[in-house]
Amino acid sequence: MKSDLDRLMRERDLVAFIIGGGEEESPERNYMTHGAHIMGGLILKKVGETGVAVVSPMEIEEMKDSGLECFTFNDVGLAEIALKSGGDPLKTQLDFWKRCLDQFAVPPGRVGIYGVGMLGHYLTFFRALEKELPQYELVGEIRKTLFTEAMATKSPQELERIRVVAQKTAEVMQMAWDYLSSMAEKDGAVVDGDGRNVTIGDVKALINRALLDRGLVDQEGMIFAQGRDAAFPHSRGEADTPLRTGQTIVFDFFPREIGGGYFHDCTRTWSIGYATEEVQRSFQDVSDAFDVAVETFVSGGKAHRLQDAVLDLFESRGHPTGRSHPGTTDGYTHGLGHGVGLRVHEAPGMSHLQKEDILQPGNVITIEPGVYYPDRGYGIRLEDTFYVSEQGELISLSPHPKDLVLPLKGGTA
Show contacts with its own copies in window 128-187 (CB under 8 A): 138-143, 145
Separation of alpha carbons 317 and 369, rounded Å:
14
Which residue type occupies 155?
Answer: S
Per CB under 8 A, the segment of 98-106, 156-164, 190-198, 228-236 that binds its own copies is 228-236
Contact call for residue 37 and its own copies (CB under 8 A): yes
Q: Comparing C-alpha atoms, which of 37, 26, 41, 33 is closest to residue 75?
A: 41
Other Cβ atoms less than 10 A from the Cβ of 395: the count is 10
Among 43, 44, 113, 198, interactor with its own copies by CB under 8 A: 113
Separation of alpha carbons 187 and 205, rounded Å:
24
Per CB under 8 A, the segment of 116-124, 156-164, 177-185, 294-302 that binds its own copies is 116-124
Q: Comparing C-alpha atoms, which of 15, 8, 21, 88 is closest to residue 53?
A: 21
Prior bond of 361 cis (ω within 30°) = no
Footprint on residues 370-409 left by its own copies (CB under 8 A): none
Contact call for residue 59 and its own copies (CB under 8 A): yes
Dihedrals phi, psi of 155, to nearest 5 degrees: -75, 165
Among 41, 227, 233, 337, interactor with its own copies by CB under 8 A: 233
Contact call for residue 60 and its own copies (CB under 8 A): yes
Per CB under 8 A, the segment of 262-270, 295-303, 344-352, 382-390 that binds its own copies is 344-352
Contact call for residue 61 and its own copies (CB under 8 A): yes
Q: Comparing C-alpha atoms, which of 180, 334, 189, 210 is closest to residue 270?
A: 180
Shortest reach from residue 55's CB to its own copies, in Å: 9
Shortest reach from residue 271's CB to its own copies, in Å: 20
Contact call for residue 23 and its own copies (CB under 8 A): yes
Annotate 148-181 with DSSP letters as a single string. HHHHHS--HHHHHHHHHHHHHHHHHHHHHHHHHH
The pairing of beta strand 223-226 with beta strand 266-272: unpaired
Footprint on residues 192-221 left by its own copies (CB under 8 A): 205, 208-209, 212, 217, 219, 221
Contact call for residue 84 and its own copies (CB under 8 A): no
Contact call for residue 30 and its own copies (CB under 8 A): no
